[in-house]
Chain A
Amino acid sequence: MTDGPQALVIEAPLVKPKVGREDWVMRAGLAVIGVYLLVAVVFPLYTILSKSFQDSRGLFVGLDNYAEYFATPALFYSINNSLTISVVSMVITVGLAFGYAYGLTRSCMPGKGVFKAIALIPILAPSLLPAISLRYLFGAQGMIKGLLMGETIYGPIGIVIGEVFWTFPHALLIIFTALSLSDARLYEAAEALGASKLRTFFTVTLPGAKYGLISACFVVFTLVITDFGVPKVIGGGYNVLAVDIYKQVVGQQNFQMGAVVGLVLLAPALLAFVADRMIQGKQVALLSARAVPYEPRPDRRFDLAMLAFCGTVAFIIIGILGVAQFAALVKFWPYNLSLALDSYQFDLMDGGSWGAFWNSLKLAAWTAVIGTAVIFTGAYLVEKSKGFERGRGLIQLMCMIPLAVPGIVLGLAYIFFFNAVGNPLGFIYHTLIILVLCTVTHFYTVSHLTAVTALKQMDAEFEAVSSSLKVPFYRTFIRVTVPVCMPAILDISIYLFVNAMTTVSAVIFLYSADTQLASVAVLNMDDAGDTAPAAAMGMMIVYTSATVRLLHFLLTRGIARRTQAWRKR
């Protein structure tokens, strides 16, 4: 009891928690992940972004490059174009994806499984494939160019179609998840209150999916604004920021300006990212433990309408890929339309061979295996460890950066950092290792977020229980966390695999004589005028990824049967 004016406030001595053996293991793990991210993300990016403050000889010039860049009128067109393309693509993609996901979750139309599988195909395709298809469909010799009513495909129209095609699966996955997490009781309540279908849609469905929609918007926006593949191959003279980087770096070897544009490009991407995180932070668990999953009831007219909508979208996706497959088989478009399998003789073609295909497989497999292990373990340590708040916050931030970094910037950054004189890691340069490292980094953020989401769904007390039982956390990690999160882990690995098969922008600077890649070969064959082999190799990538996806599906089902038996009641 301390009362009276003379009472002295004596600070009690603070308890310094003893650092147990496990804490050391955990801290060591965190340190390893921290160092990994420093080496894979921060240091390389620093080497290139610092160039935006240097002249070509490496002398510090402050903001001169920025002043010069912002004095260039072309910049404003690019910013304007980038924002326009991103917003338009975002609106179309999210709109289509919402309708599609709505059909998948709220109607009783047939073939939902097939529709879902088709919708995810575009992720499997290198971005050149839709570009080739668009040329065959809408180009000067295009099969259905009349649809454009005189407009050219080489410009914003082509870019938007290409970006929508490519980002559709990303948006669909997010919105589908959001719509799946709905509580049937809300719908019953709305029905009991006599709300019309439309009113229910606006008062129950949309608010429930709000966060998913916002998240999908930001993901699509960021993907589009940092992408240079689609605008480069189909954009004609329509300049966007990502292509400006390409022009500065590849066209003029002006790394300083490239770095400036890179940083400019980081701004909207980071802004979108921060806004998304803030909104996500406000999201409370929508699905309480007692929620009843919504089961749609048959409604002939509505189901038919949804079937028609989803059918149309699926038809377009299949159509675009079908044209790419056709392109792979046709002898010389458009003057010799006879079909042949010559295109598959990659060994005789420019820029690629079956060796490149095998290298890509190796890269994808290693990226999936190592990336998943690193990313999931890292997410676990960041999510579940104690103390070290500041360090963990920093690690989390480092995990987020890669999403906003365009591939070209990352690729060059890896040259500058790993090829620097005296870098002890220099030995990995020109090997498969650096390609794996770079690819893991390139796709780190989305994988990390997937892992974190899965980990957050786990009971927060597993670690407490196991420590009370004196079982070290790493044992519980292996015996409980990993098996329970297996679906998410497989999702991450397939995501990494598929992206490693198609990625170009970063690895194009890093491959070497023994590590040529199929995705780069597709680009080079097309560059060399061999459209058919380019399409053929592109479709090989699609088929491979689709096969792996199928295996993944069977594996997940197999694993689900054995290890996830507990999920069933």
Chain B
Amino acid sequence: MRTNLLKRLTAALAMGVFALGVGGGVAVAKTDLLVYTSIEADELAKFKNAFEKDYPDINIKWVRDSTGIMGAKLLAEKDNPRADIVWGMAATVLLQLIPYDYFQAYAPKGVEKLNPLYVDPKNNPPLWVGQRAYVAAVCYNTIEGKKNNLPIPKSWKDLTKPVYKGHVIMPNPGSSGTAYLDVSSWIQMWGEEDAFKFMDALHKNISRYTHSGSKPCKLAAAGEIPIGVSFAYRVVKSKAAGAPLVLITPEEGLGWEVEAMAIVRNTKNLAAARALADWTISRKSMELHAPGYAAVALPGIPNPVKDFPDVGGKMIKNDFAWAGANKARIVKKWTARYDAKSEPRKK
């Protein structure tokens, strides 16, 4: 390991500044499939390898960044889309792009076997097909929690108790889609007025709002804060890395988001894009989708992660259309209330 690293470093330095060569050419005429995605980066290789094993003549080329960056990039490219397929992208983002005639309808093989919640209800054949769902979750750092004598919260409402003052971090819905997921789920569960009353109370306990949706759990994992509001996959991953985290799924209900795919209207690699869509909802692929996620589109595939809570029953009835249509208004209201004077607060 060590010598390998040193070798690489020396090679890097030896090649030095002017390593201007173009990347090595590919011998066989494979189809390059340009896939825009926002799935967690550490999953990319897993999916690529598995897919290309089944389709050796297709070569997946990922363009991966956070949901916000990819959403902005997709929207900026709307007049001349570049991707062949958008895959593993928050359905909210896809819904936002549909009015621009961004996608073409396609019913992947086996779509009829999927949970109908995961398939575009408005179009047949569907414009988008969901792959899996991720849920909002709270992560709790046991070491820091104990240090501060914080009981493990069981519900969203628990988080508003004075004992948690300054010990909670959540993302800013103005910057993060995950945060909006939380906010919109609270509104859908309790109605707008009660939800904002809840947020007023929660705001008093919030140490600060982050720009990234995954950051709160990351900060909790690093002991920067005892409690972070984020999503479940992050918790699973950080725990695996050795973080003293507990995954909490508040009892009132959980907001959730579908990770979905849609074929871009002007793709030149339609066959390859369809192949990826078909493969994605195959059983084998769905099993790859499962770890750490609340549920996958194909029913009957368990989450292999040990101790992963059963969240199926807690997922709220999420109206994506409503959430999308009201996003601008709600974010503005939220910003005016909680972001306008986000002076740093002392502990």
**Contact indicator B1/A253 (Cβ below 8 Å):** no
**Minimum CB–CB distance for B247 against chain A, Å:** 15
> A237, A334, A512: which contacts B172 (Cβ < 8 A)?
A237
A548 touches B17 (CB 8 A): yes
**Are B40 and A528 closer than 8 Å at their CB atoms?**
yes
Q: How far is the CB of B244 from chain A (nearest CB, A)?
A: 6
8 A Cβ contacts from B1-28 to A: 1-2, 5, 8, 12-13, 15-20, 23
Among the 9-residue stretches B49-57, B157-165, B188-196, B215-223, the one with 4 or more Cβ atoms under 8 Å from chain A is B215-223
| Interchain CA distance A548-B12 in the complex, whole Å | 12
Which of B65, B176, B215, B218 has most chain A Cβ within 10 Å? B65
Chain A residues 115 to 172 lying within 8 A of chain B, measured CB to CB, are: 135, 139-141, 150-152, 154-157
* A336 is an interface residue with CB less than 8 A from chain B: yes
Would you list which residues of chain B between 310 and 338 have a CB under 8 Å from chain A?
327-328, 331-332, 335-336
Q: In the complex, are the beta carbons of A421 and B222 less than 8 A apart? A: no
B131 within 8 A of A: no
B208–A508 contact, CB under 8 A? no
> Within 8 Å CB of B12, what residues of A?
354, 357, 544
Q: How far is the CA of A551 from the CA of B15 in the complex (A)?
A: 13
Q: How many residues of B contact A (CB 8 A)?
A: 80
Contact indicator B218/A529 (Cβ below 8 Å): yes
Q: Does A211 contact B (CB under 8 A)?
A: no
B20 near A366 with CB under 8 A, answer: yes
B221 is contacted by which of A232, A529, A551 (Cβ under 8 Å)?
A: A529
Q: How far is the CA of A551 from the CA of B13 in the complex (A)?
A: 11
Cross-chain contact B23 with A514 (CB below 8 angstroms): yes
Closest to A142 in B: B224
Given contacts A357-B12, A528-B214, contact A333 B222 (CB under 8 A): yes
Is A74 among interface residues, defined by CB-CB distance under 8 A? yes
A366 to B218, alpha carbons, bound, how many Å?
36
> Across the interface, do B79 and A420 meet the contact criterion of CB distance under 8 Å?
yes
Q: Is the C-beta of B344 less than 8 angstroms from some C-beta in chain A? A: yes
The answer to whether A426 and B2 touch (CB under 8 A), given A74-B335, A141-B224, A529-B221, is no
Q: Is A412 an interface residue (CB 8 A)?
A: yes
Set B63, B79, B214: member contacting A527, Cβ < 8 A: B214
A250–B72 touching, CB < 8 Å: yes
A531, closest chain B residue (CB): B222
| Segment of A103-111, A239-247, A265-273 engaged in the interface with chain B | A239-247
Task: Determine the distance from Cα of A511 to Cα of B345 in the docked complex, in whole angstroms.
Answer: 37
Bound complex: CA A156 to CA B238 (Å):
29
By the criterion CB–CB under 8 Å, are A252 and B331 in contact?
Answer: yes
CA distance A73 to B34 in the complex (A): 42
CB pair A365 B18 closer than 8 Å: yes
Identify B73's interface contact among A239, A366, A509, CB under 8 A: A509
Q: Which of B224, B340, B342 contacts A238 (CB 8 A)?
A: B342
Within 8 Å CB of B96, what residues of A? Answer: 253
Contacts of B269 in A (CB 8 A): none
Beta-carbon contact of A529 and B234 below 8 Å: yes
Q: Is B71 an interface residue (CB 8 A)?
A: yes
Residue of A nearest to B59 (CB): A513
Assess the A547–B13 pair: CB atoms within 8 A.
yes
Contact across chains for A350 and B61 when beta carbons are under 8 A apart: no
Provide the bound-state CA to CA distance between A108 and B340, in Å. Answer: 51
Separation in Å of the B295 CB from the closest CB of chain A?
22
Interface size class of A (residues with CB under 8 A): 35 or more
Chain A CB within 8 A of B225 CB: yes
Within the complex, the shortest CB–CB distance from A220 to chain B, in Å, comes to 23
Q: Encode B282-317 as 1/0 by CB contact (under 8 A) with A.
A: 000000000000000000000000000000000000
Q: Does B41 contact A (CB under 8 A)?
A: yes
Contact B339 A237 (CB under 8 A): yes
- B347: interface (CB < 8 Å): yes
> Is A236 close to B, CB under 8 A?
yes
B106 within 8 A of A: no
Q: Find the A residue at minimum CB distance from B144.
A: A140
Q: How far apart are A490's CB and chain B's nearest CB, in angstroms?
A: 12
Which chain A residues lie closer than 8 Å to B217 at the CB level? Answer: 529
Query: With a CB–CB cut-off of 8 A, which chain B residues contact A529?
Result: 214, 217-218, 221, 234, 237-238, 241
Given A243-B211, A253-B96, verify A140-B17 contact (CB < 8 Å): no
**A416 part of interface (Cβ distance < 8 Å):** yes
The answer, yes or no, to whether B42 is at the interface (CB within 8 Å) is yes
- What B residues does A236 contact at CB under 8 A? 208-210, 342, 344
The distance in angstroms between the C-alpha atoms of A366 and B19, with both chains bound, is 10
Task: Answer yes or no: A415 CB below 8 A from chain B CBs.
Answer: yes
* Contact indicator A251/B222 (Cβ below 8 Å): no
Known interface pairs A421-B80, A528-B214. Does A251 touch B20 (Cβ–Cβ under 8 Å)?
Answer: no
- Min CB gap B2→A, angstroms: 6
Asked whether, in the complex, the Cβ of A350 is within 8 Å of the Cβ of B73, the reply is no
A87 at interface by CB-CB < 8 Å: no
Report B89 CB to chain A, min CB distance, Å: 13
7 further contact pairs, Cβ within 8 A, besides A509-B73, A544-B13: A72-B335, A77-B341, A236-B209, A247-B211, A250-B69, A251-B177, A429-B82
